[in-house]
Amino acid sequence: MDSCDIGVIGLAVMGQNLALNIERNGYRVAVYNRTAERTRQFLAEHGQDKQLVGCETLAELAANLKRPRRVLMMVKAGNAVDQVIAELLPYLEPGDILIDGGNSFFKDTERRAQEVEAKGLLYLGMGISGGEEGALKGPSLMPSGHRHAYQALEGLLQAIAAKVQGEPCVTYLGHGGGGHYVKMVHNGIEYADMQLIAETYDLLQRGLGLKAEQISQTFATWGQGVLNSYLIEITAHILKALDPLSGAPLVEKILDVAEQKGTGKWTSEEALELGVPIPTLQAAVEARALSAQRTLRLEAARQLDGELLGEASSPAPAVADLEQALYAAKICSYAQGMALLAQASQTYGYGFDLSEVARIWRGGCIIRARLLEDIRRAYGENPTLPNLVLAPFFRQALVNAQSAWRKTVCFGVSKGIPLPALSAALAYFDSLRSARLPANLIQAQRDYFGAHTYRRIDEEGVFHTEWQSME
Ligand code: NBP
């Protein structure tokens, strides 16, 4: 009894792998799952010679933990977390630490932290990225909440996290829901990254006529350069895989309907709430929604001549142009995610250090990429950078890439290949670099129909015009 360093609740794929990761790093772990059979199976498969203690009740779990107790919840996000907290609290005492490592919505984490801390316990919300492999071998960890709780767990978290150049991919991300906020934005960027890669695949395949194997090779080559990242690496791998049934590339047999669990949508909603433009991330969420309207698309393809337009009116880009376009759009999508984090840090007082956020995303997580080292450096050199695109390194990269990027988007548009994220990123870039936008006309229209007033460029004050009485 009371010999375990930490308890893990929830033994689906993430909970199991995190428990194994923690145990491998020298900690004794008590494990519990609502359906006890899963606990038994887990111990039967993995329990031999390991410091794992199976518990069939929450009372047993609590009794097996050293004080103050440390309990990591790895259950389905949403009501399940509230249920587990309610069932577990009677067995915990003031000073015990409760950690939610699921994909909880940050506002739920804020609420739960207040409720749990009102009872004298300490609460941590912790975003975890890296999927099942990351959980086992070393994820990126995004914890926030009570600072003492973080300090008490820092050694364990550093031990289990991914390491890049010896540095663990974990950092303290402020109070309350800060960690889950960062994880939410991470997922928004992940949506954008995936969509940008998918559009580039479409351009290579339908636009330039490359075969899956050639595209795989292209991505593999790009993965050695500025685009080096986990998502590019797995894309090269995916495109090589053959369908055992037909011998054709397996990817071509997969239904073109992208699913989503909601973290991308949360990022979009939150950006709208805070008034931060993240058009590339939004485009990625909407592209998934559009892909899901398959029946409508099939009908529209029939009625609207779904074939590609023949001879493109814009010249075909070279494969190297597509690499530059993807890189530039990727920079813009990270710039948007970082801008959202900067605003959230101010609005909610999280005190995010964006250089640290980029640092802990360099390893373990799904969006790990070489680019994050450059982002870390950019915010390290200038923590108050107004936007990533203005960091000298990225400013130069975008200027270098822009002609290839424009050529790529023009080609896609002229062929009728949808490029929602690549073009939204370009429009973001062009909007940022436009000293004057046509918003003057929007202000005039608002004043015309709603007397909403406007400001002038040459005089202080607020103005209204009786537009109908003007010639
Ligand atoms: P799931 O999200 O599929 O959740 C399944 C677990 O939740 C099972 O252990 C299940 O117990 C438990 N559970 C449920 Br459902 N309702 C419960 C309740 N009312 N009380 C107690 N336990 C309950 O598992 P997962 O994929 O391992 O993910 C765990 C968390 O980590 C989620 O929040 C997820 O979003 C997040 N996450 C997942 C990934 C990934 O790659 N899968 C990556 C990053 C983060 P049962 O066996 O009794 O049904």
Q: Is the pLDDT of residue 107 over 90?
A: yes
pLDDT in the model for residue 307: 74
Q: Is the pLDDT of residue 2 over 80?
A: no
pLDDT in the model for residue 427: 98
Confidence of residue 314 (pLDDT cuts 50, 70, 90): confident
Task: In whole angstroms, give the CA distance from residue 373 to residue 138.
Answer: 18
Summarize pLDDT for 282-301 with one digit per residue, the tens: 999 999 999 999 999 999 99
If you average pLDDT over residues 268-276, what whole number do you get? 98
Reference 84, options 179, 11, 182; nearest CA is 11
Q: Is 163 a catalytic residue?
A: no
Ligand 1 atom at minimum distance from 79 CA: 19
Please give the share of the chain, as a percent, with pLDDT higher than 70.
100
Q: Is 190 a catalytic residue?
A: yes
If you average pLDDT over residues 81-85, what whole number do you get? 98
Confidence of residue 378 (pLDDT cuts 50, 70, 90): very high
From the candidates 66, 132, 163, 190, which is the catalytic residue?
190
Reference 408, options 201, 188, 192, 190; nearest CA is 201
Reference 35, options 63, 76, 89; nearest CA is 76
Name every protein residue with a CB atom under 6 angstroms from any ligand 1 atom: 10-15, 33-35, 38, 74-77, 80, 83-84, 102-103, 128-129, 131-132
CB count in 10 Å sphere of residue 451: 11
Confidence of residue 219 (pLDDT cuts 50, 70, 90): very high
What separation in Å is there between the alpha carbon of 76 and the centre of ligand 1?
Answer: 3
Task: In whole angstroms, give the CA distance from residue 104 to residue 180.
Answer: 6
Reference 428, options 315, 317, 339; nearest CA is 339
DSSP letter at 69? P
DSSP count for the chain of H helices, then E strands = 19, 9
Summarize pLDDT for 23-42 with one digit per residue, the tens: 999 999 999 999 999 999 99
Q: Which domains does the chain have, with CATH numbers?
A: 6-176 (3.40.50.720), 183-432 (1.10.1040.10), 439-470 (1.20.5.320)
From the candidates 183, 265, 330, 415, which is the catalytic residue?
183
